[in-house]
Structure 1
Amino acid sequence: MNLRLKKIYIENFKGIKQLAIDFQEKTIISGQNATGKTTIMDSFTWLLFNKDSEGKSDFDIRPNDREGDPIDNVVIKVSAVLKADGKETLFTKTQEQNWVKKKGSEVSQLQGNINKYEINEIPKTEKDYKAYIEELMSEELFKLITSPQAFTSLKWKDQRTILLKLVSEVTDQDVIATDEKFIVISQTLQEFSVDDLTAKAKKALKELNKRQAELPARIDEASKGLVQADFSECEIQKADLEQQIRKLEEQETSAAKAGEAIAQVNNAIMQKQFDLGELKRTANEALISQKREIQRRIDDAGYAFSGLIRDCERIEKEIQQKEELLESNRTFREALLKNHKEVQAMQMDPNNLCCPMCNQTLPVDQGEIKIAEFQANKQKSLEDIVKNGKQTATNIGNLEGEIKDLNERLDVCKANKIEQNKKKTAAMEELAALPQQVELSDNPKYQFLSAEIQKLENQVREMGTGSGYLNQLRQKKEELIARLDRVKATLIGKENNQRVQARVLELQQEQRTTSQLIADQERELFLLEEFTKAKMDLLSSRINAKFKLVNFRLFETQINGGYKETCECMVNGVPFSSLNTGHRVVAGLDIITALQGIYEVSAPIFIDNAESVNDFNIPDMEGQLILLKVSENSGLEVEV
């Protein structure tokens, strides 16, 4: 596909009001900054793909006035003649504002923009328009071969994906053919991939290293099981301790008999103390019941007192409301009396007996009608005032009676409140006068039980401290048994030493075997890494062979010796990011040349900031060149 831009016509697009350009194989457009050079690129990509030259679809294409505000009600239009493999086609795209006057509104409101499309002056739907352009060339490929910055502006992963599509796959057999050392893994590679083998080897190496790291601690732990002791001396200690324990057991038997007698007396004391407690509990039950009854009366009086307080507050509030209403009626009655006097004193205004048009005195009959109407209205007002006055007087009498009744109820409520408070106080004084518990010192049964307990306690004291002595014997025996257990544990270690020594030798042999397995896995991993590197080098050489000036670093070595995927454009060993603007453009043109050759397509190449590139550095290109240069020209100049 050979695509050429023959003509373009721009109207009301961004800062360009009207512009038409005829293009040749090499067209130079120059002018000062902000004169519209980049706008030409933006209009062309907007025409084809509804995006600006940087690939943004949300850019503003409407022209602005001197204050920077968008200019409404102008049609934006871009037309271009494209020649594809000798066939010329006219593409036209316009944008109009959609103004809508809503129901009930006198002002139209902007409801967005409407794009219209034509091919060879035949209207098309947006879908058909896009499909026609897609048949010529995909948007992604068009961008890559029309802008030197397009490819290098992609994310490195996207660049790498495109580059890998440019060459055929590098097979394992291709790599094996480069070095004989890879023959040893050729058979395995027929069944498993390099990644699978590497993952398997890394997993095995990780487990082996973990095992190797654990073995010294396990050997050390097993060695700790070796008992270092004089076993002959332990046998002598064992016999001596067993003899001491037997003597203590004989003494313990004698002391236990005396302890049993003391225990029987203590049990009798406990039973007498229980009987004494039961006597106290029974004697105090009547006192507790009496206290409970008095407390109930205190609570009842308290609840009644609280209820009467609330009743008094409610009656006082009701009296206050009635008094406020009474005062309001009295004030209203005074106003009615005053109004009655004012109405009685009202006289007919003489002016009302004159014609409002000519100001002459009305005829007698009309005057009498006016006077009669006045007297009737006056009499009606006086009757209404009297009626309202009587009703107000009735209201005042009713309210005064109600207030009197409420005050009487309030007096009764206050008297009841005082009475309940007196009941509560009397009950509290009665409760305070009661003793804390019943005095039993004069009770014969209480005196008998107390004497019996005292007698038994004296008997225990006379029998001595047999239980304490017995506890001393038992404690000493437990200490000797603990010492004997430790000696026996040491003697058991004599039997374990042989098994421990055998286990230590077994772990040491496992340590040597694991070291050899780790070395084998490390050799296999190294060979796999070498194989991966050789494959990457072969792949890189095939891709870089597609380019004349640039080359790509597709892998980088990590600190641990492994390889990490990347994609960095280089020119003579210098990273693309470190190049100046001119060399970046030249590198981009080299990439476009390679892509044109691979995909067998060409399209107009826009070189923005072309003033940064010397003419002799621009290579011969298959595609049409459009150079956008900054110059001292106040307007745009086109040179072909």
Structure 2
Amino acid sequence: MKTIKLLQLQLENFKGIKDLEIDFQDNTSIYGANASGKTTILDAFTWLLFDKDSTNKKDFAIKTLDTEGNAIHKLNHVVTAQLSIDGEQIELSKKHMEKWTKSKGKLEQELTSHTTEYYIDEIKKKANEYKTFISELLDEELFKLITNPLYFNEQFDWKKRRAMLIKIAGDVTDTDVISSDNSLTDLSAFLGKHTIEDKLIQINEQRKNLRKRLELIPELVNEATKAKQDTTGLNPSDIQGEISVIEDQIHVYEDKKVVLKSGGMQTELNKQKANIELELTKIKVNEQKETQEQLMNKREEIFIEQNNLSKVNNQITEFTNRIQARKGEVATKRQELAKLGSEWDMLQLEHFDEHRKLCPTCGQDFPTEDLNLMIATFNQDKAEKIKANESAGKSTKEEINYIETDIAEIELGIDGHLKNEKAEIQLKLEILDQQKAELELQLKQVENSTNYIEKQAELEMVEEKLRDEKGSSVTAVAEIQLKIEELQAEVNDLKADLSKFDSNKKQDKRIQELEEESAEKSAMYNELEKGLYLIEQFNKTKCSLLEDKINSKFKYVSFKLFKLQINGGIDECCETIFNGVPYNSGLNNAARINGGLDIINALIEHVQVIAPVFIDNRESVTELIDTESQLVSLIVSESDKNLRVEA
């Protein structure tokens, strides 16, 4: 078990205490009148460790004030503590100071900020190093829980209190609860794979949906009942018999109508009409067949000549392009010839340079023999260049003559052959187009032939007879159709009455299904109610077991962790009770302190850490319960205007 003891505490200019040093024993009492600084000692200790006062405030005044309540500046505010941690002594110290600076252009220094220095065993540490050391030594919240008897019940959130108690005692499992009460035997099967919490959510959702449906079913039954149609005085068998009789009458009239529509004369006339129309088609086909063949052949000839014309045009285009290319070659050659002429003129003007008679090195004339050799070489080179130039000129002229001859031959081919061939093809195409137009006109004039006109007149006579025959039967057919429609209307009315029975059967079936559904869902709802009751019994049993298990860890206090609601539900809570009296219901200070010590004893046993316990208003407690913790009692004593320490 980790044991932390406070051996000594030194205060310098801290909350009005100018200089104070206290040595602590296992049981130390500090006496003083009100406002003499007893609580300041505890504030100094918590500020040294956690930057907060004993009420958990971070922003509180630690400076010493003058008689007018103003801070006295340029003082260092220091708290130093000697601690024993598992027998090893360590010193912690914290110094809070003002920072004064002189700004440019000002005579006096100004307070610009504050700074805090941290020390461990007189070794200066960075703030984060110091805080890390403290947190590794003891968690802040745990420190407050085991050093202040009132912290658990008055400053610790009830949900955290409850969670801490369950952690100390250990939670009660669902299996423990179910096995402790025989009435909960069926709960496991009811829960299946779900937890109590999830099952409760599921039950409530299912109950809500079932209630909605059960409330809706009577309304649906009422709607189905209202939807049933009145069949008073109607008999399905009689109605079906009437329908059969009337439908037989309709069939008789339908047969008569068919006979009238397909009368003997009309049938014969229709046959004659069909035969004449067939003969007209044959006349048209026979007379058009030869013309169609001629027209097809003519179109084939036109197609061939168009291809020939296209070929001639392509040849003309090709030859024209060749002429242009050859003319370009002539122009190039003429440029070359002109250049050669210019070069020949230049060569004729070249003479041996007189300056070359002198040696470039010594400036003297070359010897006559060397000079004659140089002149002979120059004249020979000039003669060879002129000869080469004249040869190139001659060759170029020959090439120009050859190309111009080729151009003339190509132009002759275009003008003397291809253009004539093109003109012949175009003339032939004009003749073929004229012949094609005449054949197309012949096709259109087939219907003007004598044969066709006579047969057409015969067809018109048959059609006139057919119209007269139809006119005489139309009136009789119309009268029969009117009678059929009247009888069909009677059948439709009877069928509408008959359908009422089918509709009522569907509504009766719907009502039966709704009543069966109501019974089924009522049974399901009852099963859910039974399951809900089992869960409520489970929760009550678990509450009782958990409270018993937690309360067994304490000697003087007990805890109420659940509140029973009017509707049978259970709410979580955490209420401390001391000797049967709730903590927040008039419990006196002595009971609150001793109850807190009992809680601290249990916490120490659980976390295996002991730290100094500060008891404020100790004068109200005549006797403290036993505890292994180091005790620091802060006692109000009006006679002690200055603090007095007894160990």
Pairwise mapping of residues 586-625 of structure 1 onto structure 2 (< 5 A)? 586-613=594-621, 615-616=622-623, 618-625=624-631
1:587 alignment partner AA: G
1:55 alignment partner in structure 2: 56
Distance 1:90 1:487 in 2: 111
Asked which structure has the greater CA Rg, the reply is 2
What is the CA distance between 1:230 and its match in structure 2?
4.9
SS in 2 for 1:33: coil
Amino acid at match of 2:589: T
Partner of 1:632: 638
Indicate the residue corresponding to 2:23 in structure 1. 22
Q: CA deviation at 1:122?
A: 2.1
Residue deviations 1:13-32, cap 9 Å, x none? 01211111111111111222
- CA drift of 1:508 comes to 1.8
Query: How big is the shift at 1:532?
Result: 2.7
Instruction: Classify the secondary structure of the residue corresponding to 1:140.
Output: helix
Q: Which SS does the other structure have where 1:2 is aligned?
A: strand
1:200 pairs with 2:207: no
Letter in structure 2 aligned against 1:49: F
SS of the equivalent of 1:523 reads: helix
In the other structure, the counterpart of 2:524 is 517
CA contact (8 A) 1:227 1:490 kept: no
Instruction: Please list, as runs of the form range in 1=range in 2, the aligned pairs for 1:377-392 lying within 5 A after superposition.
Output: none
Q: Does the 8 Å CA contact 1:117/1:123 hold for their aligned counterparts?
A: yes
Q: Contact conserved, 2:190 with 2:531, CA < 8 A, in 1?
A: no
Aligned-partner SS, 1:565: strand
Please give the residue correspondences for 1:243-392 in structure 2 after superposition, counting only pairs within 5 Å. none
Determine the C-alpha separation between the residues in 2 that align with 1:123 and 1:502: 92
Change in Cα spacing, 1:205 to 1:625, as seen in structure 2 (3 Å) is same
The residue aligned with 1:160 is 162
Q: Which amino acid in the other structure matches residue 89 of structure 2? A: E
What is the CA distance between 1:627 and its match in structure 2?
1.1
Structure 1 pair 491–574 and aligned structure 2 pair: CA distance change class (3 A): farther
In 2, Cα distance between equivalents of 1:105 and 1:589:
58
- Determine the C-alpha separation between the residues in 1 that align with 2:190 and 2:511: 38
Aligned residue pairs, count: 390
Amino acid at match of 2:74: N
Aligned residue in 1 for 2:120: 119
CA distance in 2 between counterparts of 1:114 and 1:528 reads 59
For residue 227 of structure 1, report the CA deviation from its aligned partner: 4.1
The aligned residue for residue 506 of structure 2 is: 499
Aligned residue for 1:165, secondary structure, equals helix
Identity %: 43
C-alpha distance in structure 1 between counterparts of 2:493 and 2:546, whole Å: 73
The answer as to whether partners of 1:231 and 1:494 remain within 8 angstroms in 2 is: no
User: How many angstroms does 1:69 deviate by?
Assistant: 0.7
Q: In structure 2, what residue type is equivalent to 1:496?
A: S
**Deviation of 1:493 (Å):** 5.1
Distance 1:190 1:576 in 2: 41
Q: Which residue of 1 aligns with 2:578?
A: 571
Decide which of 175, 182, 185 is 1:183's aligned counterpart.
Answer: 185
Structure 2: how far apart are the matches of 1:487 and 1:218?
30
Asked if the contact 1:30–1:631 (Cα under 8 Å) also holds between the matched residues in 2, the reply is yes
Deviations 1:379-413 (A, max 9, x none): xxxxxxxxxxxxxxxxxxxxxxxxxxxxxxxxxxx
Q: What's the CA shift for 1:91?
A: 1.6
TM-superposed CA distance for 1:635, in Å, is: 2.0
CA-CA distance at 1:519 after TM superposition: 0.6
Contact 1:6 1:82 in 2 (8 A): yes
1:81–1:88 contact (8 Å) kept in structure 2: yes
The whole-number CA distance in structure 2 between the counterparts of 1:31 and 1:108 is 39
The alpha-carbon deviation at position 560 of structure 1 amounts to 2.5
SS in 2 for 1:35: coil
In 2, Cα distance between equivalents of 1:495 and 1:189: 46
List gaps (5 residues or longer) in structure 1: 236-484
Distance 2:636 2:504 in 1: 93
Query: Counterpart in 2 of 1:281?
Result: none
Q: Tell me by how many angstroms 1:225 deviates.
A: 2.0
Cα distance change on mapping 1:559 and 1:491 into 2, 3 Å? farther
Alignment of 1:429-444 (within 5 A): none
State TM-score, norm by structure 1: 0.57
Deviation string, structure 1 residues 325-361 (Cα, Å, up to 9, x no partner): xxxxxxxxxxxxxxxxxxxxxxxxxxxxxxxxxxxxx
Residue matched to 2:363? none
Between the aligned partners of 2:109 and 2:162, the Cα distance in structure 1 is: 52
Q: 8 Å contact 2:187–2:531 — kept in the other structure? A: no
* Cα distance change of structure 1 residues 488 and 569 upon mapping to structure 2, 3 Å threshold: farther
- Look up the equivalent residue of 2:643 and give its one-letter code: L
Equivalence for 2:136: 135
Instruction: Give 3-state SS (helix, strand or coil) of 1:224's partner.
Output: helix
